[in-house]
Amino acid sequence: MWFALVIGHALADYPLQGEFISVAKNRHADTKYLFGGKNPPPGLWVQILGAHALIHAGTVWLITGSVALAAIEAALHWIIDFAKCESWTTFSLDQVLHVLCKAGYAIAIASGAAWVTWTP
């Protein structure tokens, strides 16, 4: 399970992210070139970072079938990437934190935690 989650992470963080998301999710990035030299709409970075976190949540949901783990992934991925964009972490630490989250999900599943199987 952990290996599948890490593969899902690699897909969502590299080919499914692309330059637009990679740049526009950072509120400090100069994104004018993405918008024809104009400023992006105010607060767009929040939506872009949220969309990126939801892509990750989707991979967790598809792999585990757990809505609970997908919701946790959305929140944690948003927070971890925000920290990286604020330069509170490095790229390497960002990736380690994401992989540790996946390990936590795999452990929760293996332990048979009832909350993991919650569905709306």
Please state the three-class secondary structure of the chain as a single string.
CHHHHHHHHHHHHCCCCHHHHHHHCCCCCCCHHHHCCCCCCCCHHHHHHHHHHHHHHHHHHHHHCCHHHHHHHHHHHHHHHHHHHCCCCCHHHHHHHHHHHHHHHHHHHHHCCHHHHCCC
Instruction: Give domain limits for the chain.
Output: 2-29+42-117
pLDDT per residue as tens, the chain (120 positions)? 999 999 999 999 999 999 999 999 999 999 999 999 999 999 999 999 999 999 999 999 999 999 999 999 999 999 999 999 999 999 999 999 999 999 999 999 999 887 887 666
pLDDT of residue 75: 98
Total-model pTM: 0.92
